[in-house]
Structure formats: structure tokens, C-alpha cells
């Protein structure tokens, strides 16, 4: 009696197909994983920058709240005398404030560091007691600038080594 033999090609084709499908799935999985990791890095950097920015904004708001107390007290003490009001404000503002009096206008500015290379710059125009009363202002100042600035200098390397060292 003859023994039945199985065709070799039918078993081999199924195995080869299965190996090819598994290799395709593994390749697509690795590509998806590397793409996800590549997309996550910029997102993490952006989240860190956003956190640092809002931490700086919170510090700036705390300084503005302290300045509001100074403005209110100086406004009550100086009455309608703008010169005395500006002098009291300039003397009593907290440490990071830098004041400048030009043309009967007082400006106060400060910077809050955000990161190693950036800071939040805030500049205020301090209203005179007359302006506050005349305009029935809700605040003692107008914000001139509330912006993110770069604090380091960029030094580009524009040299080109055209000759090979020997």
C-alpha cells in the first residue's frame, strides 16, 4: 500500500504568510512607537515652558498686588499732590521695581525670571492722583508691557573651516 504524502508547498506557504504578517505587524508597531515618542518630546517641552510662564505670571501678579497696597497708601497720604505721591510710591515700591520719573510721568518696571534664558517684563505707567480722580480709574496704573523677553544674548558661530588641518 502506498502512503499518502502531504504536499510540501501548502504547509510552507501558510507558514511563510504567517511569518510575513507577523513581521509587518512588528514593523508597524515599532514605527508607531517611535512616532509617538517623537511627538511626546515637543509636547513635554511645551508643557514645561507653559508651566514656567504661568509661574512667572503668578509671581508678577503677587508683585502687582504688593504695589497696589503701596499705591493705595501713598494715594491716601499724598492727597492731590502728584509730586509727593510719586515720591512716596518710588520710595515704597518693593525691591524688583525700577522707577523712572520723566515729564511728570512715573513709570515702574520689573522683571520676573521664567527660565534661564527668558523673563517676564512688566512696565507700568503710574497715574497721578488727579488722573485717578478725573477718570474714576479702577486702578492706580496702566500696564504698558506684560511680555516675555529673552535675557541672554545669542552668539552665532558663523566661522567656516574651509581648509583641513594638517
Residue ranges making up the domain that contains 70: 40-150
Q: Residue 21: helix, strand or coil by DSSP? A: helix
Split at pLDDT 50, 70, 90, the class of 22 is: very high
Domain count, the chain: 1
State the burial class of residue 96 (Cβ atoms within 10 Å of its Cβ: 0-12, 13-18, 19+): middle
Beta strand pairing call for 118-126 and 105-113: antiparallel
The region of weakest confidence among 8-12, 20-24, 74-78, 106-110 is 8-12
Residue 83 lies in a domain: yes
Q: Compute the average pLDDT of residues 25-29.
A: 96
Measured distance CA(80)–CA(84) in Å, rounded: 9
Residue 33 lies in a domain: no
Task: Please provide the average confidence, as pLDDT, over all residues in the chain.
Answer: 86
Per the CB < 8 A criterion, the answer to whether 98 and 107 are in contact is no
**Chain mean position to CA 6:** 70
Residue 107 lies in a domain: yes
Residue 9 lies in a domain: no
**pLDDT tens column, 75-93:** 888 877 888 888 888 888 8
**Pick from 119, 122, 98: which is nearest to 56 by CA?**
119
**pLDDT tens column, 103-157:** 888 899 999 999 989 999 999 999 888 888 888 878 888 999 999 998 888 777 7
Q: Give pLDDT, residue 3.
A: 66
Measured distance CA(80)–CA(30) in Å, rounded: 73
Q: Compute the average pLDDT of residues 63-80.
A: 88
Residue 125 lies in a domain: yes
Residue 127 lies in a domain: yes
Amino acid at each position: 500500500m502506498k502512503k499518502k504524502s502531504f504536499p510540501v508547498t501548502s504547509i510552507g506557504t501558510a507558514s511563510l504568510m504567517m511569518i510575513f504578517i507577523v513581521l509587518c505587524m512588528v514593523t508597524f508597531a515599532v514605527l508607531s512607537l517611535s512616532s509617538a515618542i517623537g511627538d511626546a518630546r515637543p509636547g513635554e517641552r511645551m508643557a514645561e515652558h507653559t508651566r514656567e510662564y504661568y509661574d512667572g505670571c503668578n509671581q508678577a501678579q503677587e508683585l502687582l498686588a504688593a504695589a497696589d497696597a503701596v499705591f493705595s497708601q501713598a494715594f491716601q497720604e499724598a492727597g492731590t499732590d502728584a509730586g509727593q505721591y510719586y515720591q512716596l510710591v518710588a520710595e515704597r515700591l518693593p525691591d524688583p521695581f525700577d522707577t523712572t520719573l520723566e515729564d511728570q510721568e512715573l513709570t515702574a518696571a520689573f522683571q520676573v525670571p521664567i527660565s534661564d534664558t527668558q523673563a517676564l517684563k512688566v512696565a507700568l505707567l503710574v497715574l497721578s492722583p488727579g488722573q485717578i480722580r478725573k477718570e474714576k480709574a479702577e486702578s492706580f496704573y496702566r500696564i504698558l508691557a506684560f511680555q516675555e523677553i529673552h535675557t541672554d544674548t545669542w552668539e552665532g558661530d558663523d566661522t567656516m573651516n574651509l581648509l583641513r588641518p594638517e
